[in-house]
Structure 1
Amino acid sequence: MLVVCSDTHGTDDSHLLGRTREAVAAADLVIHAGDFTTPAVLDAFRSLADRLVAVHGNADTEAVRARLPPAATTTYADVPVAVTHTERGGATGLSLFGRERGAALVVSGHTHRPTTVAGDDGGPTLLNPGSHADPRGNRPGHAELWSVDADLPPVVRDADRPASGLVGVLRTPDGDVFDRIRVPLQD
């Protein structure tokens, strides 16, 4: 399972509670789209996640910025993923960022608003998981994704699946599912 978080904004604690904590601990890969804020929060994520790919955000201290890049690329289940905290130009800027990196999925943060935007014209799917810890008037959230080839859990087993790629959900720390995610791989 791939777990995506962002915008923790902690000082000494990762604020990983409930389903968010369980998912991070169980994940094959955790992606964090920035704004840990302090090294203690970054270290808390690193200690819980087997594998962490992260970028820094605008609210991160200089000590965090020194340890993390502003953008990253990775792969999960053969799906290329581009990660940034924010990109000028909104959805268009994020889509261009992903296309430049050959990504099928672009992960971002910054707005604290959980959002998914399906890729158009062969463009990448855009995913902002929101914030599990500091939702700022939005629903608190994180994302969980699985390869369509995996033994899928019941929460996505009946989902509209692409032929290849990822399927997933946006969830609250309480475990409630509030949106579905489809990340098709282009032929």
Structure 2
Amino acid sequence: MIAIFADTHSGDGHELTGEALEAARTADTVIHAGDFTSVAALEAFRAECSRLFAVHGNADGAAVRERLPTARVVEAGGARFAVTHRREGGATGLAMFGRSRDADVVVSGHTHRPTVVDAGDAVLINPGSHAQPRGNRPGFAVLERDGDGLVGELRQPDGTVLETIDVRA
């Protein structure tokens, strides 16, 4: 399983609860699209995950930025993920970012709004924020291998399904 998070915005911990915490603990790969806000939050996430691949976001201080790249590519579940916190140009900018990295999935954060967009070449996933939804529904995403692709869901930490995801790599 692949678990996807963003926008933790914590000064002292991972702020994971319910199914979000269970997903972080049991996933083979965890992707985080930035804005941990503190080293303590980053390290708390690392302590829960067997494999964490993260980028920094605009709210991350220098200590977090020193530890994490602005963007990265992750190979997991037979798919290629391009990860960034945010990209100018909205969905078009994110799709171009993914195309330039030959990605099947583009993971981003920043808006705190859980969304899935089929951009043709890639699926754009913003898991929202599990901890600081800022007027949106709290969210995270899970994906699992299914034949020649991945299937999954955007979920709230209590397990409520917000949207289904289908990625054909």
* Equivalent residue number for residue 38 of structure 2: 38
Partner of 2:46: helix, strand, or coil?
helix
Query: What is the CA–CA distance in structure 2 between the aligned matches of 1:103 and 1:44, rounded to whole Å?
Result: 28
Say yes or no: does 1:75 pair with 2:75: yes
TM alignment of 1:1-187, pairs within 5 A: 1-120=1-120, 123-149=121-147, 164-185=148-169
Q: Which runs of 5+ in 1 are unaligned?
A: 150-163
Select between 74-83 and 27-36 the one with higher mean Cα deviation.
Answer: 74-83
Query: What is the CA–CA distance in structure 2 between the aligned matches of 1:136 and 1:77, rounded to whole Å?
Result: 31
Any conservation in 1 of the 2:13–2:45 contact (CA below 8 Å)? no
Per-residue Cα deviation, 1:52-87 (whole angstroms, up to 9, x for no partner):
000000000100000000001011122011000000
* Equivalent residue number for residue 155 of structure 1: none
TM-score, L = length of structure 2? 0.99
In terms of fraction of residues, the more strand-rich structure is 2
Any conservation in 1 of the 2:2–2:77 contact (CA below 8 Å)? no
Query: What is the CA–CA distance in structure 1 between the aligned matches of 2:74 and 2:161, rounded to whole Å?
Result: 26
Q: Which runs of 5+ in 2 are unaligned?
A: none
Identity across aligned pairs (percent)? 56
Partner of 2:24: helix, strand, or coil?
helix
Q: CA deviation at 1:107?
A: 0.2
Query: What is the CA–CA distance in structure 2 between the aligned matches of 1:63 and 1:181, rounded to whole Å?
Result: 34
TM-score, L = length of structure 1? 0.89
Partner of 2:166: helix, strand, or coil?
strand
Query: What is the CA–CA distance in structure 2 between the aligned matches of 1:132 and 1:78, rounded to whole Å?
Result: 26
Per-residue Cα deviation, 1:118-154 (whole angstroms, up to 9, x for no partner):
132xx110000000000000000000000103xxxxx
Task: Return structure 1 stretches of 4+ with deviation > 4 angstroms.
Answer: none
